[in-house]
Structure 1
Amino acid sequence: MNFFERQDQARRQSKRLILMFVLAVAAIVVAVDFVFLLAFGALGEDSTPEGLAAGVVVATLLTLGIIGVASLYRISSLRSGGEAVARQLGGTPVPEDTQDFHYRRLRNVVEEIAIASGVPVPQIFVLEDEAGINAFAAGYAPSDAAVAVTRGALDKLNRDELQGVIAHEFSHVLNGDMRLNIRLMGMLFGILALAIIGRKVLVHGRGSSKDALPVMLAALGLLVVGYAGLFFGRLIKAGVSRQREFLADSSAVQFTRQTAGLAGALKKIGGLEGGSKLASRDSEEVAHMLFGDGVGYSSLFATHPPLIERIQALEPGFKPQAMTELAARWQMRPPSGLDEDQALGLDSRSASPLPSDRTELRVTPPSVVAQVGAPQANDYVRAGALVRAIPDVLQRAARERDEAVPLLFGLLMAPPGKVRERQQFELAARHDERLARQSLDYADRLADLPRILYLPLAAMAMPVLRRRPRAELEKFMDGCFALSHADGKVDLFEYCLGRLLRIHVRDALDPAGTWVAGNRRLADLTTPAVTLMAVLAQAGHEDPAAAMRAYLAGLALVFPRLNSPYRPPADALRALDEVWPVLDVLEPMGKELLVEGLVAAVSHDGRLNVAEAELLRVVCASLHCPLPPMLEGA
């Protein structure tokens, strides 16, 4: 199952969840109406059929209103995305410039996995009061994601085990599970609200008169119905979550190239006292998004497969009695992640060479599609090499509040000349002279930086950028637009990078309203798809005749029966501005076919250089189809 199939599955799963929720609410309404008739029809005085009928209508509307308002309230309270969930559980943000070794190791792992996945670096939190081994990813989309780990995970897991846990969580980020998780939180809270109201009335109700008896009976009924609804809600949550955990485990293994790390983390959960349990009273609400069982559910409500089954899926020869032996050993000497790192040599990494700008790859459309949202065996190692290749001064700038914006503007600067002068003028007019000079200084520093490092550097700057005030972020997006469109002569890669930065910031400003998998058919969007293909064919081939052949090859793959001559738009940037929002709402399987056609158009001459590969990455990311930092050659 590839990225597009998983996105399609997540979309169908969301529809099933909504259907199950609607059925559950309907059953609850019927039960509340029955309680009302029982309480007021049997015990109430002067009850008339007309009065009871009107009462049933009122009870129905009140029940629907309470569930709906409570659900919307809970979802709106999480509108700021993953950060809201992490802070609710007491998460402590990990500073970008932290000198704490545990924090630094965690940040390095998260940054490398984010870069290898082709998504922005998420916000990182540590649950300092939690001694169990656990973690979760929360948010609406990769642009507003937050990853949190417990203090127990930091102290007890070595680097490979921590990497396996974080890779597992990134699988949820890439598979579209996070939005579904937040919806589950809101829906279950709405059902629980009935039980809370019933309990409040019973606890605080006064009076022993005969008139109060129907009210108290109705409150008791609400309490019973509410908890019964919560029972079935937990069943829904468990059914939705279990299979996704197996998928996330297998994705993490594919990502990290080894099973020992993830299996080791699961063994420590099973063998250490406390396991993955969380002390927070809110742990039940987020149980379905945790790495391990944080509550201690029975098998009926379990949101995770049995621990032994998860380990055996990674290590088929693992025996349950081995867990007992590990527990006895760790009881004598508790594990230390840092000590294990030093013993295994995981605290140092060898450098890997980067491809030069002249490096060329032979790729096929299916091989590139297979990498979308699914980092391959070497991508994590490559991401680490990319991070280490970025000069320290640029890494520090990406992590500092006052330097991140001019650094990102520097990435969008054209080479020295009239276009750059125009960009300087636009920046000074929209911001100030000081920021314009800073951006120019970074543009000069970036002149010798390989283009393959641009996107990783931008990804590293996203956490600190997101925390700037809304007004500053809106000015930043305006500045990106101005730099990308200066004189209409900006390099296509720089234009697409500017747009990508604007997308990430826009999604961070409005997480709940961010991108979701669309439902438009590719056959209904031929005009924008053909326009994008023509622009990429032209960008990948200097010879117009070769560009036309490349365009026709891509067209034949995507629209084999369409007769559309090769006519690249005169104003490519304006044409692309019109294309993006339309194509971004394609259904997942339509995007898969479109990406295949774009790859065929860019690489029709039989080779793909670094610049073309980076352009393809930015285009795919703009369509919310993240590609790893280095493409695999055929």
Structure 2
Amino acid sequence: MNFFERQRRVRRLSVRLVLLFVLAVVGIVLVVDLAAVVAFNATAAPAQELLGLIAVVTVGTLAAIGLAALFRTVALRGGGGKVARELGGVPVPADTTDPELRRLRNVVEEMALASGVPVPEVYVLPDEPAINAFAAGWTPSDAAVAVTRGALRRLNRDELQGVIAHEFSHVVNGDMRLNIRLMGLLFGILFLAVIGRGLLRAGILGGGRNRGGGGGANPLPLVGLAMVAAGYVGVLAGRLIQASVSRQREYLADASAVQYTRQTQGIAGALKKIGGVAEGSELKAPKRDEVGHMLLGEATGRASWFATHPPLADRIRALDPSFDPAELSRLARQWAASPPSGRQEDVALGLAPRDVSTAAATGPAGETPPTPGRALPVEGLQVPVAPAEVLDRVAAPTGTAYTHAAAILDRIPPELLDRARDREAVVPLLLGLLLSGDPGVRRHQHAALADRHGPGPADAALRAADTVAGLHPAFRLPLAELAFPALRDRPGPELESLLASVFTVIRADGAIDVSEYCLSRLLLNGLQESLHPDSRWRADRRRLTDARSAAASLLTVLAQAGHTERAAAERAFAAGVAALRPGTTLPYSPPDDGVLALETAWPVLDGLRPSDKERLVAATVAVISHDGTMTVPEIELLRTVCGLLHCPLPPMAGDGVG
């Protein structure tokens, strides 16, 4: 099953969840309506009065559930970081020198580069001694990955890598958005129980009798009791839905962790430690049940019929068929006397030296020590590629991609890594990455930045551009991805100013090339999604026939950018059209404004159905590689286009690192 099929399954699952919650809400409304009829002794009332009472109670109940769910969902618009902070999470600085935290950040950065997504925010739950983790957010651009202090202390690097790979599976496959929706809907149903408890207290404090002097029983306690019961019935239904959804996805995420890291010891070892250490996976946070469906292990630490995760033994056996569940008991006895230490295991396994600070990795003169791996590709290197191969790689990093990502981190100059992780230096660095290599275009861009922000910031961006001028093309996109955490740490007004700066750079001169434009647009999309997460229900149901003009614009611009001769560009465009709509011909008509014509195309193309987006990515590959090969800049261009379409493409074989 590839990325696009998983996206289709997630959307079908979203529809099913909505239907199940609607059924749960209907059941709750019926219970509350019945309780209201009995409480107000309306069984013998005229039909008109009875229907009026039922209508009022129904509308009130639906309004309470809907407004509570909406309120909770809006409160979660802060993205994954909001969820992590509610559970007591503390952000891990991008430039941390703490050995445990540095190891965590390195693993997250490597996994992000291997997955082709921006580096998420990283949090630690310092008051949680158990082993657990989760990923939360609306999109990869506002995602956060959080691990417990127990996971940092108990897991070795391979096991931590397996856990992070498990969570990244949820990030790239769209599970996070569904998870955060579940949080809002569950809160709406639980809100009835809160109202019911209030009515119960009001009725009891009121003496249990009406104060109107009629001598009738006060209906508030009965209504309150019914609402409490209805609310908890709804929560029970929600827990069942959580369990039915989460259990299957946990198996898939475990399997993805093995695919990402190319070894089972990591995620399997982490699951064994959850089953063997005394703390298990149980969280102490009051809101643990609300996020139970998005955690690595059971939030309560207890297996039950309503468990959100499959039994640990079954998960481990799915990874290692030879596993004997009795091993968990043996490990529990062993670790009761001497709990495992991840850092000590790292030393024994020879993994510790990889996780040192940038400063420690440089020599006395600031020189980077030699890094093993093959030589970087020379300009013009041709890499064989096929559209089917690319489609299989979307959101499916392999062990090779992870090795490439680690090598990229090793080969980017330490000075640039430090700047990318520094909240003060990151803005000039990114603007420098976006400035054109053409001197004439760069002068236009510098002048535009100076007009908007003054000469100081413009000159800083120009100096940064000179610093990154010699950076290998294979490292430009990864460096931008590494800079996202430091960017998100900037105040909102400064990020809004940076958004304006990116627009300024893009539009300073129409001569900006496609690679520079796409990198600018990818940064712009990431910043916009990070600042203003889209919490609306997204259907993504636009058909390719409704996006014909936008798709043609993309293929035309890519064909024009890759070829100086019109005849060659037309052949590449025709190859893309054939992959997009076999048997169809479209006129090759380059837009007057060049790459800027794509400004109106991206929202249309990103809203395509998964099946149509799959065809569009195949057509994009066909244009860029119509001769069956791609250069390294073309590979990075393809990865950038896929990122703009929210189809993350990992580093591909032949990109010259690793």
Aligned residue number for residue 29 of structure 2: 29
Instruction: Identify which of 567, 573, 586 aligns with 1:545.
Output: 567
Matches of 2:256 and 2:573 in 1, distance apart? 34
* Residues 186-265 of structure 1 aligned to structure 2 (within 5 Å): 186-205=184-203, 206=205, 207-209=207-209, 210-265=215-270
Aligned residue number for residue 85 of structure 1: 83
Q: Contact between 2:419 and 2:429, CA under 8 Å: does it hold in 1?
A: yes
Matches of 2:104 and 2:162 in 1, distance apart? 12
- Residue 287 in structure 1 maps to residue 292 in structure 2: yes
Change (3 A) 1:515 1:97: farther
**Could you say what secondary structure the match of 2:134 adopts?**
strand
Matches of 2:535 and 2:41 in 1, distance apart? 46
Instruction: Identify which of 335, 340, 343 aligns with 1:330.
Output: 335
Aligned residue number for residue 324 of structure 2: 319
Q: How far did residue 486 of structure 1 move?
A: 2.4
Aligned residue number for residue 152 of structure 1: 150
Q: Contact between 2:117 and 2:481, CA under 8 Å: does it hold in 1?
A: yes
* Residues 6-45 of structure 1 aligned to structure 2 (within 5 Å): 6-41=6-41
Q: Contact between 2:202 and 2:220, CA under 8 Å: does it hold in 1?
A: no
Aligned residue number for residue 74 of structure 1: 72
Residue-by-residue CA offset, 1:182-223 (whole Å, 9 max, x unaligned): 111111111111111111222343213253432211111111
Aligned residue number for residue 361 of structure 2: none
Residue-by-residue CA offset, 1:540-588 (whole Å, 9 max, x unaligned): 3333322222211221121122221322223222321122111111001
Change (3 A) 1:393 1:487: same
Unaligned runs of 5+ in 1: none
Q: Contact between 1:367 and 1:632, CA under 8 Å: does it hold in 2?
A: no
**Could you say what secondary structure the match of 2:353 adopts?**
coil
Instruction: Identify which of 364, 369, 387 aligns with 2:386.
Output: 364
Q: How far did residue 515 of structure 1 move?
A: 9.5
Instruction: Identify which of 83, 96, 99 aligns with 2:97.
Output: 99
Q: Contact between 1:133 and 1:150, CA under 8 Å: does it hold in 2?
A: yes
Q: How far did residue 48 of structure 1 move?
A: 5.2
Matches of 2:559 and 2:42 in 1, distance apart? 77
- The AA in structure 1 aligned to 2:631 is N
Matches of 1:326 and 1:583 in 2, distance apart? 52
Matches of 2:249 and 2:483 in 1, distance apart? 30
Scaled by the length of structure 2, the TM-score of the pair is 0.93
Q: How far did residue 42 of structure 1 move?
A: 6.7
Change (3 A) 1:208 1:584: closer
Deviates more, 1:456-465 or 1:296-305: 296-305
Change (3 A) 1:538 1:277: same
Aligned residue number for residue 347 of structure 1: 352
- The AA in structure 1 aligned to 2:30 is V
Instruction: Compute the RMSD of aligned alpha carbons.
Output: 1.7
Change (3 A) 1:342 1:455: same
| Aligned-residue identity in percent | 54
Q: Contact between 1:356 and 1:450, CA under 8 Å: does it hold in 2?
A: no
* Residues 485-500 of structure 1 aligned to structure 2 (within 5 Å): 485-500=507-522
Aligned residue number for residue 458 of structure 1: 480
Deviates more, 1:327-336 or 1:178-187: 327-336
Aligned residue number for residue 137 of structure 1: 135
Residue-by-residue CA offset, 1:329-387 (whole Å, 9 max, x unaligned): 21222110000001001123563334344332100000011111111221111101111
Deviates more, 1:79-88 or 1:557-566: 557-566
Matches of 2:593 and 2:218 in 1, distance apart? 76
Deviates more, 1:199-208 or 1:240-249: 199-208
Residue-by-residue CA offset, 1:12-44 (whole Å, 9 max, x unaligned): 11111111111111111111111111222279x
Deviates more, 1:446-455 or 1:514-523: 514-523
Matches of 2:439 and 2:270 in 1, distance apart? 54
- Residue 58 in structure 1 maps to residue 56 in structure 2: yes
* Residues 397-436 of structure 1 aligned to structure 2 (within 5 Å): 397-415=419-437, 417-436=439-458
Matches of 2:626 and 2:570 in 1, distance apart? 10
Matches of 2:378 and 2:190 in 1, distance apart? 58
Q: How far did residue 299 of structure 1 move?
A: 2.9
Change (3 A) 1:49 1:395: same
Deviates more, 1:343-352 or 1:374-383: 343-352
Instruction: Identify which of 478, 481, 491 aligns with 2:503.
Output: 481
Matches of 1:505 and 1:542 in 2, distance apart? 33
Change (3 A) 1:404 1:515: farther
**Could you say what secondary structure the match of 1:317 adopts?**
coil
Instruction: Identify which of 486, 492, 517 aligns with 1:470.
Output: 492
Matches of 2:581 and 2:208 in 1, distance apart? 76
Q: How far did residue 301 of structure 1 move?
A: 0.8
Change (3 A) 1:104 1:286: same
Q: How far did residue 484 of structure 1 move?
A: 2.1
Aligned residue number for residue 118 of structure 2: 120
Change (3 A) 1:527 1:93: same
Instruction: Identify which of 289, 304, 318 aligns with 2:309.
Output: 304
**Could you say what secondary structure the match of 2:287 adopts?**
coil
Aligned residue number for residue 553 of structure 2: 531
- The AA in structure 1 aligned to 2:500 is D
**Could you say what secondary structure the match of 2:195 adopts?**
helix
- The AA in structure 2 aligned to 1:115 is L
Q: Contact between 2:73 and 2:535, CA under 8 Å: does it hold in 1?
A: no
Aligned residue number for residue 638 of structure 2: 616
- The AA in structure 1 aligned to 2:195 is I
Matches of 2:160 and 2:538 in 1, distance apart? 29
Residue-by-residue CA offset, 1:417-452 (whole Å, 9 max, x unaligned): 221111111111111211111111111111110011
**Could you say what secondary structure the match of 2:77 adopts?**
coil
Q: How far did residue 139 of structure 1 move?
A: 0.5
Q: Contact between 1:452 and 1:629, CA under 8 Å: does it hold in 2?
A: no
- The AA in structure 2 aligned to 1:451 is P
Unaligned runs of 5+ in 2: 210-214, 355-370
Aligned residues: 631
Change (3 A) 1:429 1:212: farther
Matches of 1:355 and 1:17 in 2, distance apart? 48
Q: How far did residue 175 of structure 1 move?
A: 0.8
